[in-house]
Amino acid sequence: MTPARFYTFLICLLAFAAQQASAQDTQRMYLSGTGSDHTVKWQFYCTAGPNSGKWTTIPVPSNWELQGFGKYDYGWAKDTVRGKEKGLYKYEFKVPAAYKGKVVQLVFEGAMTDVDVKINGKPAGPTHQGAYYAFKYDVSSLLKYGGANVLEATVAKHSANKSVNEAERKGDFWIFGGIFRPVYLQVLPVQHISRISLDAQANGEFRSNVYLKGAPAGSTVSAQIFTTSGQKVGSAFMSKTTTDSVITMQTKVASPKLWSPEEPNLYKVEFSLTQNGKVVHTITKRFGFRTVEVKQRDGVYVNGYKIKFKGVNRHSFWPTTGRALNKTRSIEDVKMMKDLNMNAVRMSHYPPDDHFLDVCDSLGLFVMDELAGWHGHYDTPTGTKLAKALIEHDENHPSVVFWINGNEGGHNYELDPLFRKLDMQKRPVIHAWEDFGGFDTQHYRDYNYGIGSYNHGHSIVMPTEFLHGLYDGGSGAGLEDYWTMMWNDPLSAGGFLWDFADEGVVRTDKNGMVDTDGNQAADGIVGPYHEKEGSYFTVKEIWAPVFFERREIASGFDGVFHIENRYNITNLNQCKFTGKLVRVSDTYGKAKPAELDLAIASPNIEPMKKGDLKVNLPSDFKSYDLLYITAIDRYGHELFTWSWPIARPEKVARKLVVKDGKGNVKVEQTDSLYQVSANGIKLSFSKTTGLLREVENAKGKIPFTNGPILQEGETNFKNFTQKMDGKAVVIESTFDKKSAFNTLQWTIYPTGWVKMKVRYFPGDYFTNFVGVNFSFPEKTVKSVEYMGSGPYRVWKNRMKGTKLGVWKKDYNDTETGEKWVYPEFKGYHANMYWLKFNTTGQPFTVVAEDEDTFFRLFSPKPHDDQWHNYVIKFPSGDISFMQGISAIGNKTLGAEDTGPAGMKNIYYDYDKTPMRAKELNLYFDFSGR
């Protein structure tokens, strides 16, 4: 044989071998697209609603409402008004002749809700009922091999099975219709492996149940474990078949790399069915070694480590595609959850796409996988079929650590034994919102809830829903109090926030508006298109695995921060820490701040231990204004950036405020006003109340007036006098314990700068607000620039998640969860140093002298809910400067039920003397600079 012929023969031999190897694997032929980003047009006929009564086309997979068919309904809709249309699908396809003689299964990954399928006019099998579960038919005898075939599917949006509607279509979420997950042919040898169940424990013990179809006794099944890069792990192991259709195989791996959210180590195992020395079928599964153990009256342990679940509930949802998703979307969802420093996610209220679990496996998230049931449940025959489908579909994912049998009363107790029977790993079974199986998972309990139960009982406390988001309430608001309690309670296993994203759907019947059904679905930490809300950053900080104890930078500061490592297995020396000193501009942010990067050695602090982080500061560090420290995990992901003030507001105010000038301050009195002019600025103050009435400079009037009005104290400034203090003019009221215990002082300097000093009592002991208000026309504001915490607004019970710096915010009218332009402009902002208003007229600036000063920009649109929990509270007036602000409630709890930070401000003013009064000092620059 010539060399050329030899190489030709070798190439043909290799090609034949590759073809044979391919033929041994399960083959898949997609009839639909693979996801919402890759669809295939099928013929379609809708029986009711827009575009009904005619044959047209529709992309598959999809929900037909998002394609302009049928009726949109939220789960609260009455049965009498719900859309109950059907969708008729047709698709022609060719089947390769090579498939003849094999087992060909038609697989639907998910269709809503009842599905009847025909192949070439003949029924493929019984009607499938249940929207979120894969189902399949053996269609080998119905196909025309080598020729054209017709698939017909009739999909009924409303199930003929009452229990399916109770479990799936009566709930607090949008309900849709259509084939929303992929459809494909699965091609297997006649003798094949039909199912693999795996159990890989942290000690390296590996067991598997191998389910066989058509394999005669004496066949051999062999298995080999590999790393994901293809390296063999241990030796192959095998077993001969008997008359049983299930064989158990086991081996042990020495010192496996374990799977956890911190280290999502994965392996793969290849099973081969051999008959008479020939491999007839090969199947590969990905898995991870990990052990889940529940210790009653103690907690949940994974790989021997006690776990606090930092979780969130997640719907399978996207505004333009409904519940039809794709792997890219799954990756982005999981990455956002990891960015939030979460370690867990609950599938609410149904099982997800298989690619979502694949991503949770590879990126590392614990998963609660749920059999559907909102407040109703499947009947036992239906539930048995669907629970079996759920377990068989998802059982080998290491990320899945719990099964949930229904939600909030939607539990069929007869199905509980089925999970233990079918799941080789014997995962714990949860009843969401119930004290069951040693877990108290009740939803939305008050911070102080429980008499012999919850945090005062004996069950492991793990709310599968808590801090129910509604617009800007919940999620981050109240989380610091809840998490502090959860972290310190040995019987707490953490919990799952409600929920991840606003479920806002694009209404093709309403010109593309994004509809959250009022306040029903505006529950997310992110918006419909995953716009980040303020609570996003609050959650990210509170759940960061690096915890900083409170530390003030004051005299004697040595650069040492006391920190806690809240990882389970990661030493903080595996993380990276960086620091930065920042000196902000002295001219209201116009110039670029001076910055100095700091190298910080990563401390050797073991998991769940405390230690010190040392920042080596330069000798002149006090000349800077702010310190930042950033923690980055070993994968390069930023855990959070914390900030501390070095310069206090009084120091910055000294730089900005110019008091001494060459000119004089002039004062004229009328019957009702003090009229003061200095350096081209004219001011009018009421002689009776001391309130600012008018501001004008050479360019015109600035409509900042009618203040300070005390909130919620009594504006009772009285007995004003005028005097000179050097070249400055002082206008001030007199303290009178009987009638005028609050005092106001204005100081006007020759430069035109104005100082306001208010000494006051907030009013009642318990107050929503503490501070003063002014009037200013909202319509004239274009933007603000400020030095303080930003860029997001804060609430009394949501102070975390912001960073000290210089920020600019353009005006918007966003109210969280209703419009999605973030950060919101209106609301409370913390730690004010200075604040500049850019307007359609002239700018003006306010400078704070006191620490912990809040400013409030107007009032967001008020919202309410049926229980009156969310209600937001803002002072009167337009612009406020506060020393105490209000908290925010959520959908299920009023603000005061979310913990100590949600309570009203408390100021004990039993003795109204000047020394006990609160004091607020502000400077104003009305020059128009």
Q: Tell me which of 10 and 908 has the higher pLDDT.
A: 908
Amino acid at 709: I
Q: pLDDT-based confidence at 587, cuts 50/70/90? A: low
Q: Which two tokens stand for residue 633?
A: 């995990």
Helix (H) or strand (E) holding 660: none
821, 820, 796: which is closest to 809 by C-alpha? 821
Q: What is the pLDDT of residues 616-667, one digit of tens each?
A: 999 999 999 999 999 999 999 999 999 999 999 999 999 999 999 888 999 9
Region 84-102: mean pLDDT is: 97
Q: Please give the backbone phi and psi of residue 920, each rounded to the nearest 5 degrees, phi first.
A: -130, 125
The per-residue pLDDT for 510 is 96
Name every residue whose Cβ is closer than 8 Å to that of residue 866 and which is 6 or more positions away in sequence. none
Q: pLDDT-based confidence at 318, cuts 50/70/90? A: very high
Q: What is the pLDDT of residues 157-186, one digit of tens each?
A: 999 999 999 999 999 999 999 999 999 999
**Residue 464, Cβ density class (10 Å: 0-12 exposed, 13-18 middle, ≥19 buried):** buried
DSSP 621: G
Residues in the chain: 929
> Of 206-220, 759-773, 846-860, which one has max mean pLDDT?
846-860
Q: pLDDT-based confidence at 586, cuts 50/70/90? A: low
Name every residue whose Cβ is closer than 8 Å to that of residue 253 and which is 6 or more positions away in sequence. 204, 206, 225, 233, 234, 289
Quick one: how far is CA 730 from the chain centroid?
Answer: 52
- At residue 394, the 3 state secondary structure works out as helix
**Residue 453, Cβ density class (10 Å: 0-12 exposed, 13-18 middle, ≥19 buried):** middle
Q: Which two tokens stand for residue 918?
A: 């609160």
Distance from C-alpha of 579 to C-alpha of 560, rounded to nearest angstrom = 13
Identify whether the C-beta of residue 763 lies closer than 8 Å to the C-beta of residue 912: no
Quick check: 7 pLDDT over 60? no
Identify whether the C-beta of residue 31 lies closer than 8 Å to the C-beta of residue 93: yes
Distance from C-alpha of 738 to C-alpha of 81, rounded to nearest angstrom = 65
Distance from C-alpha of 484 to C-alpha of 495, rounded to nearest angstrom = 12
Distance from C-alpha of 246 to C-alpha of 212, rounded to nearest angstrom = 6
Of the listed ranges 11-20, 295-304, 387-396, 535-544, the least confidently predicted one is 11-20
Q: Which two tokens stand for residue 781?
A: 């504001």
Q: Which two tokens stand for residue 303?
A: 């790989």
Distance from C-alpha of 152 to C-alpha of 120, rounded to nearest angstrom = 8
Describe the strand order of the beta sheet including 626-632 as a list of residue ranges: 594-600, 576-583, 626-632, 638-645
The per-residue pLDDT for 765 is 85
Region 808-825: mean pLDDT is: 94
How far are the Cα atoms of 12, 784, 843, 844, 927 from residue 840, in angstroms, in the given order? 78, 12, 8, 12, 15
Distance from C-alpha of 906 to C-alpha of 746, rounded to nearest angstrom = 28
- At residue 372, the 3 state secondary structure works out as coil
Would you tell me the crossing angle of helices 534-542 and 479-488 to the nearest 10 degrees?
20
Name every residue whose Cβ is closer than 8 Å to that of residue 36 and which is 6 or more positions away in sequence. 61, 62, 318, 321, 324, 325, 326, 329
Report the percentage of the chain scoring pLDDT > 90. 89
Distance from C-alpha of 831 to C-alpha of 813, rounded to nearest angstrom = 23
Region 467-481: mean pLDDT is: 97
The per-residue pLDDT for 25 is 87
The per-residue pLDDT for 3 is 41
Distance from C-alpha of 101 to C-alpha of 190, rounded to nearest angstrom = 7
Quick check: 416 pLDDT over 50? yes
Q: What is the pLDDT of residues 545-570, one digit of tens each?
A: 999 999 999 988 999 999 999 999 99
Would you tell me the crossing angle of helices 380-394 and 354-363 to the nearest 10 degrees?
40
Distance from C-alpha of 381 to C-alpha of 159, rounded to nearest angstrom = 15
Q: What is the pLDDT of residues 28-62, one digit of tens each?
A: 999 999 999 999 999 999 999 999 999 999 999 99
Q: Please give the backbone phi and psi of residue 902, each rounded to the nearest 5 degrees, phi first.
A: -85, -10
Region 301-310: mean pLDDT is: 98
The per-residue pLDDT for 590 is 66
Distance from C-alpha of 880 to C-alpha of 590, rounded to nearest angstrom = 25
Quick check: 467 pLDDT over 70? yes
The per-residue pLDDT for 192 is 95
HEC per residue, 40-94: EEEEEEECCCCCCCCEEEEEECCCHHHHCCCCCEECCCCHHHCCCCEEEEEEEEE
Q: pLDDT-based confidence at 592, cuts 50/70/90? A: confident
Q: Please give the backbone phi and psi of residue 356, each rounded to the nearest 5 degrees, phi first.
A: -65, -45
**Residue 780, Cβ density class (10 Å: 0-12 exposed, 13-18 middle, ≥19 buried):** middle
Q: Specify which residues 474 forms β-bridges with.
A: none
Q: In terms of DSSP bridges, do strands 400-407 and 429-432 run parallel, antiparallel, or are they unpaired?
A: parallel
Q: Read off the pTM.
A: 0.95
Distance from C-alpha of 246 to C-alpha of 231, rounded to nearest angstrom = 28
Scanning the structure block, which residue is given the tokens 């491999």?
A: 279
Q: In terms of DSSP bridges, do strands 494-497 and 505-507 run parallel, antiparallel, or are they unpaired?
A: unpaired
The per-residue pLDDT for 589 is 60
Q: Please state, rounded to an integer, the average pLDDT across all residues of the chain.
A: 94
Region 839-860: mean pLDDT is: 97
Quick check: 11 pLDDT over 70? no
Region 890-908: mean pLDDT is: 94
Region 261-278: mean pLDDT is: 96
Q: Tell me which of 468 and 244 has the higher pLDDT.
A: 468
Supply angle C-alpha 413, 419, 420, rounded to 5. Answer: 105
